[in-house]
Amino acid sequence: MNPLKLSPPQWRVLRYLAIHSASATRVGFLATKLRDLTGASPEDLGGLADLGHVTGRLHGSVEAPARSIVITARAHPKLRIHLTQAGKNAAAPIEAAFRALRHLRTHGPLPVATLQDDAGVGDDTLTELEALGFIEITPICPECHEPAQHDEPSSWTPAWGRPPSWSHLDGEPLCPVVGVNGYEPATPTPKDRQIALTSFGRRYAEPYTRQDQS
Ligand SMILES: [Zn+2]
């Protein structure tokens, strides 16, 4: 399963465990503490155990950590959660995705190149985030950076020649640039695209506060 499809609390659990991976592997963290910090439910933790991302054991027990304990002892106050290697692997793409989403939450919609440079996010991550509905990528006018549509301008007159294939959303031609025949409407290149969070993506970028649960 693609780790980006996990729930927002599950992202937070894996990110927290990966940031503290030495302790998370060796001694684990109390499930009660993890739930407090991340808003994860016992079912969220059970789901991560099902996928092999975490294991559990009871504090003080000499048994090796096991996935099943996360489910069978879900309400036990001494349950400790350990990060597995698979969980560590799953946390890496989540961290990259989170960096992009958090950057967009802070700065608002950004041109693709700006987000890539400032947040260190690759094409692959952006393609995946778009496919999964976390972000929307839309073409923009290269000059004014307002959204552009792949439609002929409605205000175009045949006397002006062949209509350009792009326009602003209000139907006006894109802003003028100097071309071979003088001024002509700009044409967006693949770089002239803007990325914005969707409301779904925003849920993953918001910091967790305990008030979320009340
Ligand atoms: Zn424009």
What integer pLDDT is reported at residue 37 of this predicted model? Answer: 95
Dmax (CA) for the chain in angstroms is 85
Spatial contact of 192 and 124, defined as CB atoms under 8 Å apart: no
pLDDT at 130: 97
Nearest to residue 80, comparing CAs of 130, 5, 144, 26? 26
Distance from residue 167's CA to the centre of ligand 1 (Å): 8
Per-residue pLDDT at 146: 92
Between CA 25 and CA 21 the distance in angstroms is 6
Give the number of other Cβ atoms within 10 Å of residue 49's Cβ: 24
Structure token digits, residue 185: 């409407």
Q: How far apart are CA 177 and CA 206, in angstroms?
A: 39
pLDDT in tens, the chain (214 residues): 899 999 999 999 999 999 999 999 999 999 999 999 999 999 999 999 999 999 999 998 888 999 999 999 999 999 999 999 999 999 999 999 999 999 999 999 999 989 999 988 888 999 999 999 999 999 999 999 899 999 999 989 888 888 999 999 999 999 999 988 889 999 999 889 999 999 999 999 998 887 655 4
Residue type, 64: A
pLDDT of residue 211: 61
Q: What is the pLDDT of residue 164?
A: 93
176 Cα to the center of ligand 1, angstroms: 8
193-197: strand order across its sheet: 110-111, 193-197, 135-139
Contact of 208 with 185, CB cutoff 8 Å = no
Instruction: Tell how far the Cα of 174 is from the centroid of ligand 1, in angstroms.
Output: 5
Q: How many Å lie between the centroid of ligand 1 and the Cα of residue 104?
A: 22
Ligand 1 midpoint to CA 184 (Å): 12
CA 61 to ligand 1 center in whole angstroms: 66
Q: Going from the N-terminus, what domains does the chain have, and what CATH number goes with each?
A: 3-90 (1.10.10)
Name every residue whose Cβ is closer than 8 Å to that of residue 198 and which is 6 or more positions away in sequence.
133, 134, 135, 136
Name the token pair of 31. 């499930």
Compute, in angstroms, the gap from residue 186 CA to the centroid of ligand 1. 8
Query: Ligand 1 centroid vs 103 CA: distance in angstroms?
Result: 25
Q: Which residues sit with Cβ closer than 5 angstroms to ligand 1, an ion?
A: 141, 143-144, 175
pLDDT score recorded for residue 94: 96
